[in-house]
Structure 1
Amino acid sequence: MQHLRHCQVLTRVLLPSSHSAQQLKNNIPLASACSGLLSLRWGSGSSHQGHNYYSSRGPRFRYVLTGLVAGTGAVLAYGLHHNKAEQAAASVTHTSSLPVYSQEEVTKHSSLDQGVWVTYKGSVYDITDFVAKHPGGDKILLAAGGALEPFWALYAIHGQDHVLEILSEYKVGVLRPEDCKKQEIANSTDPYSTDPPRHPALIVNSLKPFNGEPPPALLTDNYITPSALFFKRNHFPVPQVDPSKYRLQIEGLLGGTISLTLEELKSRFPKHTVTATLQCAGNRRSDMHKAKQVKGLNWGVAAISNATWSGARLRDVLYHYGFDTEVTAKARHVQFEGLDLDVTGTSYGASIPLNKAVSEEGDVLLAYEMNGEDLPKDHGYPVRVIVPGTVGARNVKWLGKIIVSEEESQSHWQQNDYKGFPPGTDWDTVDYKSAPAIQELPVQSAITQPADGSIVDSNMEEVTVKGYAWSGGGREVVRVDVSVDGGKTWHVAEFQNSEEGQKPELSPPPGQAWAWKLWEITIPFPEGAQELELVCKAVDSSYNSQPDTVLPIWNLRGVLNNSWHRVKVKVN
């Protein structure tokens, strides 16, 4: 039991530098580099002795989510409360001289039978007793007998003080100088060093992997979001793909394996263009977090953007290579795998229902252009899937493989993440199989101007409110209601086009409203008002509307927040 305290990890506040001091003061611990979730059962529901131990300790051991765990891309709740005695014990350092080991000696300790040793920055650690308690499961054994640096470099969480304090308790020696130099050369490459540059205006939610959103005020300046400002959601380093060597594999029930070059994809199939909005499932998570703590990246209202996408229809490609009634009788899903990889070599994966994939009205693209140019590296160059009306997580970037299958993708991000659960579900009771993977998203709207906490001049006697609205599944937004008094009275906003003063284009065909609508309204101040509570809510073509509060839709992952968006401004 002496090592159990080494699993106690305190959640740290991780916010982009653009946040104010007051936001830092008020913020609750957030997950900064989330690409998925594992339950506290250390996997997909199996009981683990470490979990049972902590559960038996009662309410004193309260779990909180902190960050990514190497090898799984998962966010795990494993922070525990320290008492002063435990803190003092954990801070004790070894002052006596430690033995010097060669890399060859360390390498011999690469299994549970021989002991598990690792090196980090010139020190040697015996982590045998920690393996069973590692939040990422036995993926830690990938580093057994070698260096931690290549694995830890993928996830910023490992560089934090509390993780290093845990590691320090397992130190058994130091690595001889000549082997240290060899490791420095081998570990000198940062897996994120080849990531593309990003626009400085982006609000950064995590650097490695990079996740960022534009400032709300810039988001709705353009109907078509400039590629540089389009929100960026990455799970791993951006892969470097040589377009001349790129091959798209198509497998599964079509029979055999088809290999398509980029040029063949462009030349064999008609080019189709769709204007479509992508939204992360975690958009507006920060609002849900204010109501009750949730786990994940601290997205504001701008994890959503709109672009034109061009490429071959997935439907055309599948039918060209043998999709027919015989395949239809068996197939139920189309799976996608990206070329971005985690430390285990596992690619990001997802799937969509077959009927969406092959529907003539589904407009699913194998896109190679964004806003009239080649896909930017951050957005899936050279080819990505665009699934209009569907959550961003299914729009797989850097597409490497398509699988026509009877089964849904078994990837972590399809089975153990991007799912919605009821408000009463917590990390001890979550059952991932009890909820379907998110596909279509609910109706959504948000205010982008004015900003929360801003001041308006009373001499103006009115306030102009701007924002966006969108609904999943191709359902068109037909109305946006706006209030300046917290929802007591309502006004209907006008939809805007990208050009000043122009009206939106004609309504799209029913079920194919893939793009958002930007809206604007100017409303007089209520008499004597010193503070305005601005509220917006949207209604789609199926008359779905947004819930007025967060708590009825709250979930432990902080996804699917489409409650009324509220912004408070002061009248000067």
Structure 2
Amino acid sequence: MEAEPKPETLLKNKAQTSYPVYTRQEVAKHKTVESGIWVTYKSDVYDITNFVELHPGGDKILLAAGGALEPFWSMYAVHKQKHVFEILEEYKIGELRPEDVQETCDVTDPYRKEPLRHPALKVNSLKPFNAEPPVQILSENYLTPNEIFFIRNHLPVPEVDPKQFRLNIEGEGLKSVQLTLRDIQTKFPKHTITATLQCAGNRRSEMNGVRQVKGLNWGLAAIGNAKWAGAKLSDVLKYAGLPEDIDAKHVQFEGLDKDITGSPYGASIPIRKALAKDGDVLLAYEMNNEPLPRDHGFPLRVIVPGVVGARNVKWLNKIVVSKEESKSHWQVNDYKGFSPSVDWDNVDFNSAPAIQELPIQSVITAPSNDEHLNSDMNEITVKGYAWSGGGREVIRVDVSLDGGQTWRVADLSEVKPNEGQAWAWKLWQLTVPLPKDQKNMEIICKAVDNQYNVQPDTVAPIWNLRGVLNNSWSRVKVTIKSK
């Protein structure tokens, strides 16, 4: 991660300007559009009134109105990039008096107690922590080891005492119930499923190759497969008195991870998924036969198989049965797909449904892109993963070694799921003679599920401003070199 640029260095080529000096009390009076929205960063004062509508994070920027940006930027370190500081400098109107500067800078880091992570993980952001394993090792294990399972955090990882933990359940037709971790482990049958979780932004880097998008620059490995164990959500809701004729439409989840204002991460799923006998939605407390790691929701998280990772809320603290979906930012103003024609000037998040089930996906994990192969090799083995959302089973993976002119069918891992419950990925491979008459090869894979959904061949037609749902053909270019 590049070092944080200093705002003052961005002005070194500009004409020196004399700015008025303000007190923190004067800045605090500017919290509305009428009075002008002012914020501070380090020793400087900015009037961002005209920027609020342009802010990619929506009106969350108003949380800092009249105060310092540091507590919020420490939560979202993606702001600490050169182009962000350049934008900010355009709105500078003054400076803080020296005695008020220390107050701004003396901020406790909310990420100071993060868990240790495996050094093999490729870090996409430190605060909040987001990382993926090297794609080359992703298909080495059917069950992704906990240590290298991709990590998608939106906020600081909470520290939770399992003895003090409580799960609160409330909502339409329910009696309010509070359960301990021990209650969840002993009052309900333990149910185990193997399920793949995939971030909606998996393969976003390829969308950036078409046109820049907003979001973490995920590669090919924001996905993993694990064995999850816990209580069925439907059993727990029944225990809480959920009537059979309930007319609620959604089940909302809230986590213990919170932003600087105390607002938790939240999401929701349709109640039909939560209650379906074959829906297999879990309140999971184990991952690959071990207690959930802290980065993956210890002590309790929701596992919604077949559904985008963003709905699998970690550090689960509250469940609400409701007629409405979650009002969380991540449900209402994020994780939605749009036409390639939509940009940040005309996007309307209310016009699109929240992502739930994900589309058919497959990726080449070996060989690597731009890898050099020796011409004296007799054969080449191509490997990868394939998965489809909604419990749809991958039935075929087609592989081309000549850029899509001809195709061969890969061998799939021998896992036969129940109809509609294909929650786990399939690993695949194809071993064929190495072409002797080629110096360059473009290897392509594409998958087909049992509903005959197929992947689009290129990225551009599915490009969207958030860079989500990239399931285009996976492509790798290799060079064959003579010794």
Asked if these proteins are the same fold (TM beyond 0.5), I'd say yes
Distance 2:231 2:417 in 1: 20
1:221-279 Cα shifts (integer Å, max 9, x gaps): 11110111101111111122222222111111133421111111112111111110001
Query: Retained in 1: the 8 A contact 2:204–2:467?
Result: yes
2:7 corresponds in structure 1 to: none
Q: Does 1:94 align with 2:17?
A: yes
User: How many Å apart are 1:419 and its aligned residue?
Assistant: 1.8
2:403 corresponds in structure 1 to: 486
1:299 corresponds in structure 2 to: 218
Q: 1:223 aligns with which of 142, 145, 149?
A: 142
Kindly provide the amino acid, as one letter, of the partner of residue 69 in structure 2. Answer: L
1:52 corresponds in structure 2 to: none
Distance 1:105 1:430 in 2: 35
RMSD of Structure 2 on Structure 1 (CA): 2.7
Q: Does 1:312 align with 2:231?
A: yes
Q: 1:127 aligns with which of 44, 47, 60?
A: 47
Q: Does 1:453 align with 2:374?
A: no
After alignment, is 526-535 or 143-152 more displaced? 143-152
Q: Does 1:245 align with 2:164?
A: yes
Q: 2:191 aligns with which of 272, 297, 301?
A: 272
1:356 corresponds in structure 2 to: 273
Distance 2:244 2:389 in 1: 29
1:209 corresponds in structure 2 to: 128
SS in 2 for 1:228: helix
Uncovered stretches (5+) of structure 1, i.e. residues with no partner: 1-14, 18-86, 497-503
Kindly provide the amino acid, as one letter, of the partner of residue 310 in structure 2. Answer: A
User: How many Å apart are 1:141 and its aligned residue?
Assistant: 4.7
Q: 2:75 aligns with which of 154, 169, 174?
A: 154
2:114 corresponds in structure 1 to: 195
Kindly provide the amino acid, as one letter, of the partner of residue 557 in structure 1. Answer: R
User: How many Å apart are 1:401 and its aligned residue?
Assistant: 1.1
1:434-482 Cα shifts (integer Å, max 9, x gaps): 3222111111111000000001111113211111111111111111111
After alignment, is 210-219 or 412-421 more displaced? 412-421
Query: Retained in 1: the 8 A contact 2:70–2:105?
Result: no
User: How many Å apart are 1:541 and its aligned residue?
Assistant: 1.7
Kindly provide the amino acid, as one letter, of the partner of residue 430 in structure 1. Answer: V
* TM-score, scaled relative to structure 2: 0.90
Query: Retained in 2: the 8 A contact 1:117–1:124?
Result: no
User: How many Å apart are 1:137 and its aligned residue?
Assistant: 5.9
Q: Spell out the pairing of 1:3-18 with structure 2 (5 A cutoff).
A: none
Change (3 A) 1:530 1:377: same
SS in 1 for 2:478: strand
Distance 1:245 1:538 in 2: 46
Kindly provide the amino acid, as one letter, of the partner of residue 420 in structure 1. Answer: G
Change (3 A) 1:93 1:459: same
Kindly provide the amino acid, as one letter, of the partner of residue 185 in structure 2. Answer: K
SS in 2 for 1:147: coil
Change (3 A) 1:544 1:174: closer
SS in 2 for 1:390: coil
1:364-415 Cα shifts (integer Å, max 9, x gaps): 0001111111111111111110001111111111111111111222222222
SS in 1 for 2:147: coil
After alignment, is 542-551 or 447-456 more displaced? 542-551
Change (3 A) 1:381 1:229: same
Change (3 A) 1:470 1:143: closer
Distance 2:181 2:351 in 1: 39
Distance 1:293 1:422 in 2: 15
Change (3 A) 1:467 1:113: closer
Distance 1:146 1:424 in 2: 36
User: How many Å apart are 1:149 and its aligned residue?
Assistant: 1.9
After alignment, is 520-529 or 549-558 more displaced? 549-558
User: How many Å apart are 1:125 and its aligned residue?
Assistant: 1.9
**What is the percent sequence identity of the aligned residues?**
60
Distance 2:322 2:202 in 1: 30
After alignment, is 317-326 or 302-311 more displaced? 317-326
Kindly provide the amino acid, as one letter, of the partner of residue 94 in structure 2. Answer: V
* TM-score, scaled relative to structure 1: 0.76
SS in 2 for 1:520: strand
1:532 corresponds in structure 2 to: 441
Distance 1:109 1:557 in 2: 31
SS in 2 for 1:290: helix
Distance 1:263 1:335 in 2: 22
Q: 2:450 aligns with which of 541, 553, 556?
A: 541
Change (3 A) 1:137 1:565: closer
Distance 1:161 1:527 in 2: 48
Kindly provide the amino acid, as one letter, of the partner of residue 398 in structure 1. Answer: W
Distance 1:133 1:429 in 2: 11
Distance 1:217 1:439 in 2: 28
User: How many Å apart are 1:166 and its aligned residue?
Assistant: 5.1
Change (3 A) 1:335 1:530: same
Distance 2:182 2:11 in 1: 63
Change (3 A) 1:332 1:113: closer
Change (3 A) 1:452 1:174: same
Distance 2:276 2:137 in 1: 35
Distance 1:459 1:442 in 2: 39
Kindly provide the amino acid, as one letter, of the partner of residue 91 in structure 1. Answer: K
Aligned length: 473
After alignment, is 312-321 or 411-420 more displaced? 411-420
SS in 2 for 1:393: helix
Change (3 A) 1:176 1:375: same
Kindly provide the amino acid, as one letter, of the partner of residue 258 in structure 2. Answer: L
After alignment, is 419-428 or 455-464 more displaced? 419-428
User: How many Å apart are 1:219 and its aligned residue?
Assistant: 0.6
Q: Spell out the pairing of 1:164-175 with structure 2 (5 A cutoff).
A: 164-165=85-86, 167=88, 170-175=92-97
Distance 1:236 1:306 in 2: 23
1:115-145 Cα shifts (integer Å, max 9, x gaps): 6655443x25253755756725664454455
1:421 corresponds in structure 2 to: 338
Q: 1:566 aligns with which of 461, 471, 475?
A: 475
Change (3 A) 1:166 1:356: closer
Q: Does 1:440 align with 2:349?
A: no
SS in 2 for 1:521: strand
Distance 2:245 2:133 in 1: 46
Distance 1:115 1:464 in 2: 62
1:325-382 Cα shifts (integer Å, max 9, x gaps): 232xx11111111222223332221111111101111110001111111111111111
Query: Retained in 2: the 8 A contact 1:131–1:137?
Result: no
Q: 2:394 aligns with which of 477, 480, 485?
A: 477
1:555 corresponds in structure 2 to: 464
After alignment, is 197-206 or 380-389 more displaced? 197-206
2:6 corresponds in structure 1 to: none
SS in 2 for 1:150: helix
Query: Retained in 2: the 8 A contact 1:215–1:302?
Result: yes
Kindly provide the amino acid, as one letter, of the partner of residue 558 in structure 1. Answer: G
Kindly provide the amino acid, as one letter, of the partner of residue 207 in structure 2. Answer: M
Query: Retained in 2: the 8 A contact 1:109–1:115?
Result: yes
Q: 1:287 aligns with which of 197, 206, 210?
A: 206
1:269-320 Cα shifts (integer Å, max 9, x gaps): 1111111000111111222332344332211111110001111100110111
Q: Spell out the pairing of 1:388-403 with structure 2 (5 A cutoff).
A: 388-403=305-320
Q: 2:241 aligns with which of 322, 339, 342?
A: 322
User: How many Å apart are 1:165 and its aligned residue?
Assistant: 4.7
